[in-house]
Structure 1
Amino acid sequence: MPTKHKTEKSVSSNKTWLRWLAFTALKLAFALSFALAIFVIYLDAKVQKTFEGQRWQVPAQIYGQIESLRTGDTIDVNQIKKSLVINGYSKVRSVNLPGQFAQSAHRLIIYRRAFTFPNVELDVTEDVSEAVQLTIDFTDNRVSKLFVEGNAVEQVKLEPILLARLVPDNKEDRVLVALEHMPTLLLDTLLLIEDRDFYHHQGVSPLGILRALYNNIAAGRTVQGGSTLTQQLVKNMFLTRERTLIRKVKEAIMALIIEVRYSKDQLLEAYINEVYLGQHYANGIYGFGLASTFYFDKPLAELNNGQMALLVAQVKGPSYYDPWRHPDRAKKRRDLILRLMFEQNLLSVQEFEQTLDSSLSIRKHRRFRTEKYPAFLQLVKRELNQHLSTYQQKMGIRVFTGFSHVSQQLLEESVATQLDQLEKSHHQKDLQAAMIVTDIASAEIRALVGDRQSGLAGFNRALDAKRPVGSLIKPAIYLAALERFEQFNFASLLADEPITLSSDAGDNGQGKKWQPKNYDGKYRHQVPLIDGLVKSLNIPTVNLGMSLGLENVANAIHLLGFEEDIVTRPSILLGAINMSPMQINQMYLAIANQGELEQVHAINNVISSYGETLWQFEPVATKVISTDAAYLLDYALMQVAITGTAKSLTWRLKNNKVAGKTGTSNDLRDSWFVGFDDKNLVTTWLGKDNNKPTGLTGSSGALLLFTEFIKKQGVVNKTNKQPDTIAMTVFEAQTGNAVTSDCANTATYPAIVAGVTVNENCLKERTDGQSWLEKLFSFTKS
């Protein structure tokens, strides 16, 4: 009996222990399940936040001018060809693929790549998101007919040149590519090598791991990975590169989560934009879109079979299979992939054999083209900061500007050539220059140079060098007078005699004396108002400015777009005010544009990666100069280029019609010239960073840079349509009065009719046919 009792007690004890063990295991399982659930919820939130938010910091892409052609337009075929070559187009005999062009005597055929333009207003027959074939017929340098895919249209647009990519702080550089724009063969090859069962597994594929293990053993080397494409995406997008069990568990769970949350196509598109495919110095190359340009300088749509295989080869190890450093390794890996493509019927026998014998056909040099236009891009970045937040700038935006690479190249050549020649001829050194070219009608900046050394990303003199403007200020003063047409006209007489002006009295009761002089040191007693401007005479200008009042002069300067405060002292009348070339450029734009003030700008449109317009320049032209005064000022500045301080332009430009104004600061420290034809406004500064004299005036220095550029660019002759309210009027030189045509010693100028009263009391022309000399020596017969 005692033994039986012990046995029952032992059994009972075992049952109790088992119950405790089971209960403890249940509680532990519950706790683990709860913890796992919390962990899964946390990972799910992390996945959603990243995948549905801003997945990547994507560089802003900066594009140049969108060139368009209409029927009847003048056309420079050589410039278009140059633009196409810079943009990566290939000249061929017969156009068959995007990125190609061909030319005959009177026809240019361009197979334009797929490109979505901002604010497209092309013919409805053209799908701007697809590659299209453009045909341009021309005769005598004019467009005669235009076709898109064989259909006649009135206008076509050319693909703009990509100027730069502004890589974000994380140094990840990529070009986002939509899944539908990926070549089918490239996608098929990627899935073949990295994840054959991608569209059949749920994120983790045990069968795929076994298959990869078998293939690698059979090949004697690693030819296939075991992780699914989804796991690779998770590892790249959400996790670090640490090799731990916990990370592998996270990877598997997040792969399952992301498979449930999103479609296979969404995951594949994310992968092709996320995968790391190379290193360009400090910047990582991510995604197939940029990798195509990095390795081959081509968009994805233009890759051949071998290039696609080499891209897929980089997935395995961009450093190990780097085609520049390890071309043999890269070729072996590429050839292995080509063989697998052939075995899976992705390539024909002929395609396989031809591609297997081909070279890697990568770019010659590893380095991307360096930033060619740093001065202009500095301006773009400043405007971007005004229009968009830093966050928005990292979302893959596309920025469209008015930049012309043709004008920029000519500008850089002009600066380089002329500065070298000026230094030699005037025994100078360390000359620097800044130039800005602006389209007058649109206010778009076409080109900008901030340093004599092309491509140098340093101090930008065009934007930031504020220097005394000298006589460039004079048109603002004469504008203030011409607007007062009842008081002033071109014949109004201005005193040209020595003067002494004093500033406000100081502590000693005496103001500082100022005695301005004309540049040539001469005095002419009095001169007509137009001569004061055309010949850039200082004394008449000071007298005019003082009679107008310094506040009125300052108001005129502000009216032309100068926004900074002005200290109203007499010396501002001769340009003792500091401005940057950009500020001068803004002032003169209103003068060149018949009195319409518009904001000069680099950026026209900013488009999001989804095609939405984030910002767009809205023209808001303001009439700041009356039509009559604008005409008169334009007339005077054309005379500057004919008979005034810039009269050398008559032979330098072979009598092409332009307008402009020279400017020189004290001691010849700054040489300025602002010139314009009917299309472009060109602002030029020449000087030294140490502010030492250059030995150059505006006409002997900056004007030569303008001339060099405008000759190469091509002058669009100035036209100046006279308003009905203005008439050519005869003035008596001695008095400045409007007189009749039979008066002696007269000059004819345009004048506002409402401000002119003809005075018939004047010295008449002789009526007896005798000159004054004949009258003096005549005698009376007896």
Structure 2
Amino acid sequence: MLRLFRLLVLLVVWGGLALGLALIFFTWDLPRPEAALVATRRPSVTLEAADGRLLATSGDLYGERVRLADLPAYVPGALMAVEDRRFRSHFGLDPIGLARAAVTNWRAGRVVQGGSTLTQQLAKNLFLTPERNMRRKVQEALLALWLESRFTKDQLLEIYLNRVYLGAGAYGVDAAARLYFGVPARRVTLWQAAILAGLPKAPSRYNPRAAPDAAIRRGTDVLEAMAAAGLITEGRARQEAEKMTLPPRPSGDAGWFADWVQDDLAESFPGSGDLELRTTLDLKLQAVVEKRLDALLSGPGAAAHASQGAVLVLQASDGAVRAMVGGRDYRQSPFNRATTARRQPGSAFKPFVWLTALEQGLSPASTVSDLPLNLGGWSPGNGRWRARGELSLEDALAHSINTAAVRVLLAAGGAKPVAAVAERLGVHGRFSNDASLALGTAEVTLLDLVTGYAAFANGGLRVTPYGIARAEGSGRVLAVPLTAPQRVISAGHAGEMRRMLNAVVERGTGHAAAVRGQRIGGKTGTTQDFRDAWFVGIAGRWVIGVWLGNDNASPMDEVQGGGLPAKLFKDIVEEMSG
């Protein structure tokens, strides 16, 4: 008997020691729960289109802190029905749920069901890393027990509903409700609550913006779970499932615009607070541009070996960017060919040569020779143009005659004055310091080229392109750093340039851009071996720039600026006006 007693004592001592060592092993790096309850996150940036519709978000998006009493009962009800029906009765761990999950998984031969309670999920989300191993599961259980001892069931639900990650950078039901449905959490409908309740299982897979069909299927499962739990009838579940419709996604490829407006946020809005930015983007116009460019590249563009394109729509009066497409597919290539790619503009640069000549005293009626020209062994060609001898500056621009362009540049004082004029209008590029500049051998971006044309459209004012119209941070309106339009050329010269650009479309190389009932101006551009094709046009208050080409600068099949780019411009203007 004494020997048995000693054995029991030894077992208790060594068992206690082993238990102590196990607790040390599982808890030595356990986070301090009180400190972890304090939310830490990245500042969020919310971008809205010009009409207030959500465009994009980044960072960690939090809404208002919600109280359980302020929410419809079906919001927490839907969550408990699909995630933890015995939440109100268990102590943080659910032995029945664990046993059921174990049997189900054993029968299936794989893990198809989990046994974690809402409290365990909360512990994992608040305190632990996503790492999955036995040690983390034990820590999760310990923290769940601590949470249950520290908070009431209603408090735990509130913490969960305010802190759970629900996809697309949204934390908490209020942020998610505003993001996905445009309403605060207290105003969500039953079917909307079902979709939100279905997100914790896989926020990315069931994201209503990225995967609306999957989100609706998951929401339907939640409604069925609510019916099975007796929270709603089966008939009500079917009715709500039939109501499930998700708003259309924001413009598919507006990512280029979103990236562009966020490039200088740190300088424009210093600090680390949340930002809500109303942008200049017109979603309807953006959708038109995307659709038209994709159709062109999929059809005639593909046949002509043009694999990429970019389109930019600028409001001429002040520089607001209304639409921006930087390529064929943002998901495949986020590189922005509208703002970053520098390409030779070809004859689309000639208007700056002509403007320089006007400022030197010439006029649209002044004459220039189109005969062959030789400058130190360099002889620019005129393609299929048959020389006439003398013609007006207006006609020379309308027909984009290269020898005349070189002579106009020389009459205007050479390459340096022309480059200075282009810079003055907002075209920042790498300018050659020889007569070839007249033919567009500079390297510019589509954004800069369109900006330069804005002065021809608005009466002589240089504009600075911008994408943010209004900003709020920490609940107050912030000053948006905008540059006011500045006069850089006389109204008279701007009017003369506008009339000559109209002639390009009415009787010159840009005739394919003509739109019935509208006075259209613009200029075509084609580079050597058909590597780049441009059209920059003016339609009413808009300046619209189009570029087509290939990323590797390989030649297209005789694609000229007066062809596909001009036709794309026309298609866009006609649909905008329709």
Would you call these one fold, judging by a TM-score over 0.5? Answer: yes
Instruction: For structure 1, list consecutive stretches of 5 or more residues without a partner in the other structure.
Output: 1-38, 67-159, 195-207, 340-350, 503-512, 716-782
Q: Could you say which residue in structure 1 is the equivalent of 2:305? A: 429
Query: Given that residues 235 and 251 in structure 1 are in contact (C-alpha distance below 8 angstroms), is that contact kept between their aligned partners in structure 2?
Result: no
- Correspondence list, 1:115-130, <5 A: none
Deviations 1:613-654 (A, max 9, x none): 4562424211111122111111211222223322355xx522
Q: Could you say which residue in structure 1 is the equivalent of 2:516? A: 654
Over the residues paired in the alignment, what is the CA RMSD in angstroms? 4.8
Q: Could you say which residue in structure 1 is the equivalent of 2:35? A: 46
- Tell me the CA shift for residue 488 of structure 1: 1.7
Q: Could you say which residue in structure 1 is the equivalent of 2:386? A: 522
Q: Could you say which residue in structure 1 is the equivalent of 2:574? A: 711
Q: Closer, same or farther in 2 for the Cα pair 1:162/1:496, shift >3 Å? A: same
Instruction: For structure 2, list consecutive stretches of 5 or more residues without a partner in the other structure.
Output: 1-27, 101-114, 131-135, 207-213
What secondary structure, in the 3-state scheme, does the structure 1 residue paired with 2:571 have? helix
Q: Output the CA distance in 2 between the equivalents of 1:392 and 1:270.
A: 31
Q: Could you say which residue in structure 2 is the equivalent of 1:334? A: 226
Q: Output the CA distance in 2 between the equivalents of 1:333 and 1:614.
A: 46
What secondary structure, in the 3-state scheme, does the structure 1 residue paired with 2:429 have? coil
Greater Rg over alpha carbons, structure: 1
- Correspondence list, 1:314-333, <5 A: 330-331=222-223, 333=225
Query: Given that residues 460 and 494 in structure 2 are in contact (C-alpha distance below 8 angstroms), is that contact kept between their aligned partners in structure 1?
Result: yes
| AA partner of residue 424 (structure 2) | L
Q: Closer, same or farther in 2 for the Cα pair 1:182/1:316, shift >3 Å? A: farther
Q: Output the CA distance in 1 between the equivalents of 2:316 and 2:230.
A: 55
Q: Could you say which residue in structure 1 is the equivalent of 2:64? A: 177
Q: Could you say which residue in structure 2 is the equivalent of 1:541? A: 405
Deviations 1:520-577 (A, max 9, x none): 3433332222222233222222112113222111101111112234231111111111
Q: Could you say which residue in structure 2 is the equivalent of 1:402? A: 280
Q: Could you say which residue in structure 2 is the equivalent of 1:483? A: 359
Q: Could you say which residue in structure 1 is the equivalent of 2:11? A: none
| AA partner of residue 288 (structure 1) | V
Task: Specify which of 222, 226, 236 is matched with residue 355 of structure 1.
Answer: 236
Alignment of 1:553 onto 2:553? no
Q: Could you say which residue in structure 2 is the equivalent of 1:639? A: 503
Question: Equivalent pairs: percent with the same residue?
Answer: 24
Q: Could you say which residue in structure 2 is the equivalent of 1:373? A: 252
Task: Specify which of 47, 54, 62 is matched with residue 162 of structure 1.
Answer: 54
What secondary structure, in the 3-state scheme, does the structure 2 residue paired with 1:682 have? strand
Q: Could you say which residue in structure 1 is the equivalent of 2:427? A: 562
Query: Given that residues 66 and 158 in structure 2 are in contact (C-alpha distance below 8 angstroms), is that contact kept between their aligned partners in structure 1?
Result: yes
| AA partner of residue 420 (structure 2) | N
Q: Could you say which residue in structure 2 is the equivalent of 1:386? A: 264
Q: Output the CA distance in 2 between the equivalents of 1:642 and 1:378.
A: 33
Deviations 1:359-389 (A, max 9, x none): 6569689xx9877433x42342243131227
Q: Closer, same or farther in 2 for the Cα pair 1:481/1:371, shift >3 Å? A: same
Task: Specify which of 318, 327, 341 is matched with residue 451 of structure 1.
Answer: 327
Q: Output the CA distance in 1 between the equivalents of 2:75 and 2:252.
A: 39
Q: Closer, same or farther in 2 for the Cα pair 1:576/1:162, shift >3 Å? A: same
Q: Could you say which residue in structure 2 is the equivalent of 1:461? A: 337
Query: Given that residues 674 and 684 in structure 1 are in contact (C-alpha distance below 8 angstroms), is that contact kept between their aligned partners in structure 2?
Result: yes
Deviations 1:651-694 (A, max 9, x none): x5224211111112223332211111222111011223442143
Query: Given that residues 280 and 469 in structure 2 are in contact (C-alpha distance below 8 angstroms), is that contact kept between their aligned partners in structure 1?
Result: yes
Task: Specify which of 494, 498, 501 is matched with residue 368 of structure 2.
Answer: 494
Deviations 1:134-184 (A, max 9, x none): xxxxxxxxxxxxxxxxxxxxxxxxxx2222333x5xxxx655234379953
Q: Could you say which residue in structure 2 is the equivalent of 1:507? A: none
| AA partner of residue 373 (structure 1) | G
- Tell me the CA shift for residue 245 of structure 1: 7.0
Alignment of 1:56 onto 2:41? yes
Q: Could you say which residue in structure 1 is the equivalent of 2:316? A: 440
Q: Closer, same or farther in 2 for the Cα pair 1:415/1:300, shift >3 Å? A: same
Larger % of strand: which?
Answer: 1
Query: Given that residues 191 and 219 in structure 2 are in contact (C-alpha distance below 8 angstroms), is that contact kept between their aligned partners in structure 1?
Result: no
Larger % of helix: which?
Answer: 2
Query: Given that residues 296 and 363 in structure 1 are in contact (C-alpha distance below 8 angstroms), is that contact kept between their aligned partners in structure 2?
Result: no
Q: Output the CA distance in 2 between the equivalents of 1:460 and 1:227.
A: 46
Query: Given that residues 75 and 197 in structure 2 are in contact (C-alpha distance below 8 angstroms), is that contact kept between their aligned partners in structure 1?
Result: no
What secondary structure, in the 3-state scheme, does the structure 2 residue paired with 1:588 have? helix
What secondary structure, in the 3-state scheme, does the structure 2 residue paired with 1:554 have? helix
What is the number of equivalent residue pairs in this alignment? 515
> Higher RCO, 1 or 2 (CA under 8 Å, sep at least 6)?
2
TM-score computed with the length of structure 2 as normaliser: 0.73
Q: Output the CA distance in 2 between the equivalents of 1:336 and 1:390.
A: 53
Q: Could you say which residue in structure 1 is the equivalent of 2:107? A: none
Q: Closer, same or farther in 2 for the Cα pair 1:637/1:468, shift >3 Å? A: same
Query: Given that residues 542 and 574 in structure 1 are in contact (C-alpha distance below 8 angstroms), is that contact kept between their aligned partners in structure 2?
Result: yes
What secondary structure, in the 3-state scheme, does the structure 2 residue paired with 1:642 have? helix
| AA partner of residue 678 (structure 1) | G
- Tell me the CA shift for residue 396 of structure 1: 4.9
What secondary structure, in the 3-state scheme, does the structure 2 residue paired with 1:438 have? strand
- Tell me the CA shift for residue 270 of structure 1: 5.5
Task: Specify which of 433, 450, 468 is matched with residue 603 of structure 1.
Answer: 468
Q: Could you say which residue in structure 1 is the equivalent of 2:25? A: none
Query: Given that residues 209 and 226 in structure 1 are in contact (C-alpha distance below 8 angstroms), is that contact kept between their aligned partners in structure 2?
Result: no
- Tell me the CA shift for residue 188 of structure 1: 8.2
